[in-house]
Amino acid sequence: MATFSIVIRGKRNDGYYPVYICVNHKSKPAYIKTSFVVSGKGLKKTYTKTGKERTEVSDKLITRECMNEIAGYVRRLNDIDSREMSVQEIVEYLTYECAEELSFTKFANDHISKMFSSDRTNSALSYRMAVKRLHEYMNKSNILFSDITVNVIRGWIDGMMDSFRKRSLYPVCIKAIFNAAMLKYNDEDREISRIKRNPFAKITIPKARQSEKRSIRIETIRTFFNAEIPGLFMREEMARDVCRMIFCLAGINTADLYDLPADALKDGILHYRRKKTRDKSLTGSYTEIKIPEIILPLFEKYKGEKRLLCFSERYATAMDFASVTGKACKRICEKACIEEKITPYSFRHSWATIALNECGASMDDVAFALNHVSAHRVTSIYIKPDYSRIDKLNSLVLDKVFML
């Protein structure tokens, strides 16, 4: 059982002594700093049974306030089994804010900052927007975990009827943050529950609708790639080249083109890990694909200095790069009189559709080529992938479109 005492540890430059509460557990001490300071007049010297001199706090007001704090600590320790805890874990438990005072806002901001640091920019932006929308709905600058109730979340979801995507995405983000906080603050084995209630246990979050099919016809793909672009329109030229790379590399994403390391291309083979799922896949979403001759000149044209391609040197983020490319695609469609809506992602969808419907590929082969997280997650660990399957299927798709 932990014991407590009131101590000082050193003198400040202004002559005052900060007051601490010493926690002793398993013969090891740790210290909790209080908000009190004491002058030399509030101290007294005493002696142990062995004659060792020590200094104690004698100021009655300070000792009374510190004893009140100690009484609160004792009550909190009585609620849990602290026998197997270290003294550092006990101090950490006692100095955490109680559940009613834990700030969801602070935890969410820290959680999102870590996502940015882990290069999960797109997800982090969605989480940030979800937190912002929750603050706007609750009209509070600092939301506590105790503020987030079942009725609050249900009302928030009902208030987003204008957008099915928001109703499904934003609550998922808030739930993920809430679960991460419970994992950090609660310890079932030691019966520590700083966050008492999980409102999401009683809430069914609306499921996301199936994404819109964005594939375009083969004739439209040819029209897009053959559209005449005047020499002054640099962004349109770049956008068309990027879309050609996406399509000819089995639907690689703009985020991956932006992020490719300098050593990703070896002996005509592109080696990379898909950015969107590299943290979700047991294999790190690694894949390989042979660079088709039709786009080999583009790798020289857009050669980068620090990364394989120069897009990261031209644009601050992968999202900026994708946005600029998407807007330029729209202008190409206007110039080529293409009525269908085309974005860079259209070429990933189109590659998959042509591979499946025109080239007789199986759904598993298409998923493998697109570098989707495998449905056979555990089995995939034991099997060495044959990436030449992607090259063979890619050749069939390019033959069908470009009649090579």
pLDDT tens per residue across span 312-360: 999 998 889 999 999 999 999 998 999 989 999 999 999 999 999 999 9
- What is the SS3 string spanning 204-267? CCCCCCCCCCCCCCHHHHHHHHHCCCCCCCHHHHHHHHHHHHHHHCCCCCHHHHHHCECCCEEC
What is the Cα Rg of the chain in Å?
30
Given a cut of 90, is residue 191 above it in pLDDT? Answer: no
CATH of domain 218-402: 1.10.443
CATH of domain 101-202: 1.10.150
pLDDT tens per residue across span 20-39: 999 999 999 999 999 899 99
Distance CA 279, CA 123 (A): 12
pLDDT tens per residue across span 304-321: 999 999 999 999 988 899
Give the pLDDT band (50/70/90) at residue 147. very high
Distance CA 12, CA 10 (A): 7
Distance CA 131, CA 104 (A): 10
Is-contact 258 344, C-beta < 8 A?
no
- Sequence spans of domains, the chain: 3-95, 101-202, 218-402
Q: Which residue has the tokens 């999102």?
A: 112
Q: Which two tokens stand for residue 390?
A: 């992607």
Give the residue among 310, 194, 204 at the shortest CA–CA distance from 260.
Answer: 310
Whether the pTM exceeds 0.75: the reply is no
